[in-house]
Structure 1
Amino acid sequence: MASNPPAPEAPYAPSQPSPETFGYGGHRADEGPWEEWNPTAESVRPVRGKHRVAKQRGGGFARSSTVLGVGVIAAVSAGGMASANTGKAPVSISMPDLPNVGSLISDDDPAPQTESALAAFGSETAVDADESTVESAVESAAQSTADAGEALRSRIMAQVESQQTQYEVKAAAAAKKAEAEAVVKAEKEAQAKAAAAKKKAAEEAAKKAEAARLAELAKQFTLPTSSYTITSTFGQAGSLWSSGYHTGLDFAAPTGTLIKAVHSGTVTEAGWAGSYGYRTILTLDDGTELWFCHQSSINVSVGQKVSTGEVIGRVGATGNVTGAHLHLEVHPGGSATGIDPAAWLRSKGLNP
């Protein structure tokens, strides 16, 4: 069987002011009566922003009033909450007489009373501390950034200086090396020039010496005849010669032209020699044999010593010839094979 729920009790509201009043005098119209108020999350407006209580430095009374107001609000809130929880009528709260509230936060005696007052301003102090901390942190961060930047700049400058120093050292080493190479190159060039000059001087000296020697030899040697024409040279090929090539040097001249001893020596042969016609062999002191062939007549005999330029015969056309001429051959050391008479004569300072 259902029953109706009991009606809620009406909030308690005293008809007359309570004789136990709080304050410094009689009943005040702005002190009540009030209805019971139970704060909830919907009824309490959220606090926005920062609410700071200005610091009072003029005297202790303002600070004491603030502390007292906070105490009253706390006491009233506590009484209301108690009435809401127990459902009983609210009880008036009376505060005993307090001494001079200014002494609670006296500047001369920062004792436990001062600590209570400072607790009321905890939020303000925390805000100031937070702001100071933030400012200090910002300053520290800025200083740290500046220090880091300066340190980075110092490192970069140090690296730049180090690289510059290394570059200068390398440049100096390269310049020194180039200078040393230039000195070595100059020395080598000077040595080469000196060697070339020395070689040239030696060659010139040798030429002069050879010229002097040839000049001296020219006094000791002479051409075999005069008023002549060279008609055949050594090594010239042809069917006119039995060996297939010419073995001497031909001086064409009129028959009867004088033939002279090229150098001093001894006559080792004088007479008929077949295809050579009348031939005279003059052996020099070094063993070289000079053959004078196709003579028309012979003026010396075997074993006779002759001197340079002495007449030993006359040009003719005896033997295997096509005309009057002197056929001259040179056989070093008496060898059967002769050498070029023109070259031999030039070696003696003569130019046939």
Structure 2
Amino acid sequence: MASNPPAPEAPAPSRRSTETFGYGDYRTDEGPWEEWNPTAESIRPVRGRHRVAKQRGGLARSSTVLGVGVIAAVGAGGMASANTGKPPVSISMPDLPSVGSLLTDDKEAAEDAAAALSSVGTSTDDTTQSAADAGESLRSRIMAQAESQQGQMESKAQAAAEAAAAKAASDAAAKAEQEAKAKAAAAKKKVEEEAKRKAEAERLAELAKEYTLPTSSYTITSTFGQAGSYWSSGYHTGLDFAAPTGTLIKAVHSGTITEAGWAGSYGYRTILTLDDGTELWFAHQSSISVSVGQKVATGDVIGRVGATGNVTGAHLHLEVHPGGSSSGIDPGAWLRSKGINP
């Protein structure tokens, strides 16, 4: 087998090598120079335990990755701030690997360090997105609260409107009920009045069968209470039926003759007393056809019309004295109460 030849020895350093910087020839004004060779006597002893970190070839590569990660993180943060237009937010830096881990020849460790540094930009984007989400959440809560308040106001307004409508309907129903009651009461009253009128008409019709007018073919010339100088009392005390002399005078109702004869200013007068005590006076007769104590029925002839006594013409003067009293009442009203219209 061939053996490798020994390497040539390096030439010994020349004395001329004292030209340290190589800027020219040896200068005597600066010399003499000697080559510095540190020895144990010239180097200050190191105290304590100090280690110089071993530099390896991966330093440059790790430094490059570190710079790229920082630039990416800063760029991402700046772009996020510029895009959002919102005030800056705090950036949460992830835990970076130790310098020792960066200064390594291990490729996988370097890539992990670069990924950790690149995550700074991602964290910034996440923070910006979180701030945007928080703002949107606050806006949503405010809008929801406003909508809730609006809904409550609308509910109150609707409830008030429904209450007002219910009250108006209740008032209208009460008014309608009152009107209905009033109409019913008026109708009932009308029916009652009609029934009463009908009953009174029936009663008067029955009385009319028992009563009659004192004469026929007459004219009412003077009424009860009429004032004048013709009467001694100053007013008329009866009802005058003007008729020709000799016209028949009839008993208005059944009763008993209690007086028949001359009576001064009344001329010839007949008094008929009814069963209830009412006295009917027939005055100014031309003749009398009955006598005292005689019973007569309705329509019986008791005398004739004349002009005796204080008169200005032939007529029948009729007076009505309830219970035989001296003062009389209106004969016309009394006759109407018996179903007879003079």
TM-score of the pair, normalised by structure 1:
0.64
Cα displacement (A) at 1:103: 7.8
The answer to whether the 8 Å contact 2:223/2:238 transfers is yes
Structure 2: how far apart are the matches of 1:197 and 1:19? 149
2:158 equivalent to 1:168: yes
Distance (whole Å) between structure 1 residues aligned to residue 281 and residue 101 of structure 2: 163
Give, in whole Å, the separation in 2 of the partners of 1:247 and 1:206: 32
Indicate whether 1:183 and 2:188 are aligned. no
Structure 2 Cα separation of the partners of residues 236 and 247 of structure 1: 8
Write the distance in 1 (CA, Å) between the matches of 2:243 and 2:101.
Answer: 166
2:228 maps to what in 1? Answer: 238
> 1:195–1:65: structure 2 CA closer, same or farther, 3 Å change rule?
closer
Residue aligning to 2:249: 259
Q: Quick one: distance in 2 between partners of 1:103 and 1:192? A: 107
Query: 2:338 aligned with 1:339, yes or no?
Result: no
Q: For residue 50 of structure 2, what is the aligned residue in structure 1?
A: none
**Separation in 1, partners of 2:235, 2:35:** 176
Asked if structure 2 preserves the Cα contact closer than 8 Å seen for 1:60 and 1:102, the reply is no
Taking the aligned partners of 2:312 and 2:101, their CA distance within structure 1 comes to 169
CA displacement, residues 9-41 of structure 1 (integer Å, 9 cap, x when unaligned) = xxxxx98439569xxxxxxxxxxxxxxxxxxxx
Give the structure 2 partner of residue 60 of structure 1. Answer: 58
Question: Is residue 2:217 matched to residue 1:227?
Answer: yes
Work out the number of aligned pairs and report it.
257
Say what the alpha-carbon RMSD is for the aligned residues.
3.3
**Equivalent residue letter for 1:290:** L
Give me the whole-angstrom Cα distance separating, in 2, the residues matched to 1:139 and 1:270.
136
For residues 160 and 208 of structure 1, what CA distance do their matches in structure 2 show?
70
Q: Secondary structure at the match of 1:192?
A: helix
Residue-by-residue CA offset, 1:189-235 (whole Å, 9 max, x unaligned): 33222222221111111111111111111110000001111111111
Whole-angstrom distance in 1 between the partners of 2:294 and 2:250: 14
Residue 303 of structure 1: aligned partner: 293
Choose which of 116, 119, 134 in structure 2 pairs with 1:144. 134
Residues 63, 337 of structure 1: alpha-carbon distance in 2 compared, 3 angstrom cutoff: same
Identify the residue that residue 80 of structure 2 maps to in structure 1. none
Tell me, yes or no, if the aligned pair for 1:64 and 1:102 is still in contact at 8 Å.
no
Aligned match for 2:340, one of 325, 329, 350:
350
Query: Structure 1 residues 103, 320: CA separation in 2 closer, same or farther (over 3 Å shift)?
Result: closer
Q: Which one-letter code corresponds to 1:226 in the other structure?
A: S
Give the stretch that moved more between structures: 164-173 or 234-243: 164-173
> For 2:290 and 2:154, how far apart are their aligned partners in 1?
99
> d(CA) in 2 for partners of 1:65 and 1:225?
155
Give TM-score, length-normalised by structure 2: 0.66
| CA distance in 1 between partners of 2:106 and 2:278 (Å) | 148
- Contact between 2:272 and 2:279, CA under 8 Å: does it hold in 1? yes
Q: Is the 8 A contact 1:277 1:318 kept in 2?
A: yes
Residue ranges of structure 1 left out of the alignment (5+ in a row): 1-13, 22-58, 67-100
For 2:290, give the aligned amino acid: V
Within-5 A mapping of 1:37-116 = 60-63=58-61, 104-107=103-106
SS at match of 2:177: helix
Partner of 2:266: 276
**How much has 1:133 moved relative to structure 2?**
7.0
The letter of the residue matching 2:308 is T
Identity %: 66
Counting only pairs closer than 5 Å after superposition, residues 290-329 of structure 1 correspond to structure 2 as 290-329=280-319
In the alignment, residue 279 of structure 1 is paired with which amino acid? Answer: R
CA distance in 1, matches of 2:211, 2:219: 19
Aligned 8 A contact 1:295 1:315 in 2: yes
Instruction: Confirm or deny that 1:210 pairs with 2:209.
Output: no
| 1:148–1:103 CA distance, 2 compared to 1 (3 A) | closer
- Please list every run of 5 or more consecutive structure 2 residues that lacks an aligned counterpart in the other structure: 1-17, 22-33, 38-56, 65-99
Give runs of ≥4 in structure 1 deviating > 4 Å: 18-21, 63-66, 106-110, 131-137
Question: What letter matches 2:148 in structure 1?
Answer: A
Q: Name the structure 2 match of 1:92.
A: none
Separation in 1 of the partners of 2:239 and 2:144?
Answer: 98
Partner secondary structure for residue 220 of structure 1: coil
Aligned partner of residue 262 in structure 1, secondary structure: coil
Query: 1:169 deviation in Å?
Result: 2.8
